[in-house]
Amino acid sequence: MFVNLIQTNLTTSVLGKIIEHTTWTESTNKDAWELIDEGTTEGTIVIAEKQTDGKGRAGRAWISVPGKSLTASLIIEPKIDSRLSGWFPLLTGIAIVKAFAELGLEVNLKWPNDIMVNNKKLGGILCESRVQGKVLEWVVIGMGLNIYEQENELAVELNATSFFMEKSSSIQRELVLAKIMNHIEPLYNQLTENKDPSQLMELWTEYCNHVNKTVKFEVENESLSGEFMGIDTDGAAIIKTNGNEKIFTSGDIHIIKS
């Protein structure tokens, strides 16, 4: 990927001023934490072609295909109430939906962090945070998106797809990343300035593909099915089972009925 091509397409004032590009690394999220410890500033992005220990959610591995996947981690320093931390994967998802819409691909969101096209996974987000007291000091927003992969390059069990498989057309990964950053910045500023996630809640609900659907929900050792009612003011999932609404801050959703 070409750093100057990303930067040419940025309209941000803070995000992406520093971009660290490596051909391969263990994990761009891990690199981001190292940069934070070395004193980097908010807005720095780490990108890589290949990760030897790419991290997915819930301890799963994440595989990137060199030259084809978009693999990036963004560093931010919100210094807001840690209760708002659940909003970072959701606001990133909203930004990704907006970016792909500009590029002609309609994508939607599966709670908490999956980017979907026609019920197939186009990518995922892994946010990691550092909290001190009640203050959310740093957040690393890792994103892995399938751009040019062919079917045989994607893990079958993930039920995955790529931009190329959906559109049969090419796109510069640099442009995709710049557009995502251009959309993250105003959403992030809004969250830190107003401390009010209600607009994010509205947008996320509009882009979600399973509101009011019957879902199987798995969290730790518990598995239940119920209706996905939406998200609460912390970005947590509200699921109704046997007439009772339960709140979940983590877990995996499988859509079983419209």
Which residues, 6+ apart, have CB-to-CB distance to 157 below 8 Å? none
Helix (H) or strand (E) holding 71: strand 69-76
Count of residues interacting with ligand BTN (CB under 6 A)? 21
**27-40 residues labelled b (16+ CB within 10 A) or e (exposed):** bbbbbbbebbeeeb
> In this chain, which of 1, 10, 16, 28 binds ligand BTN, going by CB under 6 A?
28
Closest to 205 in 3D by CA, of 97, 130, 101, 117: 97
Name the minimum Å distance from CB 219 to ligand BTN. Answer: 15
Long-range own/partner contacts, residues 134-137 (CB < 8 A, 24 or more apart): 134/81, 134/82, 134/83, 135/79, 135/80, 135/81, 135/82, 136/78, 136/79, 136/80, 136/81, 136/82, 136/84, 136/85, 137/77, 137/78, 137/79
Listed ranges 12-20, 33-41, 57-65, 100-108: which one lies at the site for ligand BTN (CB under 6 A):
57-65
Closest CB to ligand BTN among 60 and 195? 60
Name the minimum Å distance from CB 36 to ligand BTN. Answer: 14
Listed ranges 123-131, 148-156, 194-202, 208-216: which one lies at the site for ligand BTN (CB under 6 A):
123-131
What is the residue whose two structure tokens read 């599966």?
A: 110
Listed ranges 13-21, 120-128, 146-154, 210-218: which one lies at the site for ligand BTN (CB under 6 A):
120-128
Q: Examine residue 204 and tell whether it contacts ligand BTN (CB under 6 A).
A: no
Per CB under 6 A, contacts with ligand BTN among 96-115 are: 113-114
Name the minimum Å distance from CB 174 to ligand BTN. Answer: 16
Beta carbons within 10 angstroms of residue 196's beta carbon:
12
- Tell me how far apart the alpha carbons of residues 58 and 61 are, in angstroms, rounded to a whole number: 9
Q: Examine residue 128 and tell whether it contacts ligand BTN (CB under 6 A).
A: no
Using CB atoms within 10 Å of the CB of residue 172, give its burial: 0 to 12 exposed, 13 to 18 middle, 19+ buried. Answer: middle
- Tell me how far apart the alpha carbons of residues 252 and 258 are, in angstroms, rounded to a whole number: 17
Q: Examine residue 71 and tell whether it contacts ligand BTN (CB under 6 A).
A: yes
> In this chain, which of 8, 34, 41, 60 binds ligand BTN, going by CB under 6 A?
60
> In this chain, which of 16, 43, 86, 124 binds ligand BTN, going by CB under 6 A?
124
Q: Which residue minimizes CB distance to ligand BTN?
A: 124
Name the minimum Å distance from CB 54 to ligand BTN. Answer: 4
Q: Examine residue 51 and tell whether it contacts ligand BTN (CB under 6 A).
A: yes
Per CB under 6 A, contacts with ligand BTN among 142-201 are: 142-144
Listed ranges 34-42, 76-84, 118-126, 181-189: which one lies at the site for ligand BTN (CB under 6 A):
118-126
The contact set with ligand BTN (CB under 6 A) reads 27-29, 51, 54-57, 60, 62, 71-73, 113-114, 124-126, 142-144
